[in-house]
Amino acid sequence: MPAIDSVALDRLRQAAQEAAGNAYAPYSRFCVGAALLFDDGQVVTGCNVENMSYGLTSCAERNALFRAISERGAGRRIVAFAVANRNGAASPPCGACRQVMSEFVASDAVVTFPGEHGPETMPFAEIFPRSFHFEKPGRP
């Protein structure tokens, strides 16, 4: 994993926790926040945004990622990713978010999330081994 000191990781967890305060979760009442750290020190956050249709709900992790790419492009390296919630529960990123993360988050990036017994921290490749990917086609 890249060298992320514990102070920077704590700050990232804190940013995710704050972002969870903006969650729009009137249906599940499960308020999630995510924060990602670029290699230049910039932090981008997101929260879950639910929808009355239920199926159109968007997770905190994907919202943070799509916001990050929208604001900064896909050229920079994401070196750490934190998830938090306001329910005092375990909340590792869901499977759909892991697949989306695999597009942009380096396999050795540090991922931290609330586990069953406190914070868990590991390289991205460990929570999402054997991701679906293929060689991007060249221009025709």
Per CB under 6 A, residues contacting ligand THU are: 25, 28, 30, 32, 48, 50, 57, 59-61, 93-94, 97
To ligand THU, the closest distance from the beta carbon of 7 in angstroms equals 25
Nearest to 15 by CA among 60, 62, 49, 74: 60
How far apart CA 61 and CA 40 sit, in angstroms, is 20
Residue 107 token pair: 């396999």
Q: Measured from the CB atom, is 60 or 105 closer to ligand THU? A: 60
d(CA 124, CA 9): 15
Nearer to ligand THU, 1 or 94 (CB): 94
Structure tokens at 11: 């700050």
Q: Catalytic: 61?
A: yes
Smallest separation (angstroms) from ligand THU to the CB of 48: 3
Minimum distance from residue 40 beta carbon to ligand THU (Å): 26
Q: Which residues are catalytic?
A: 61
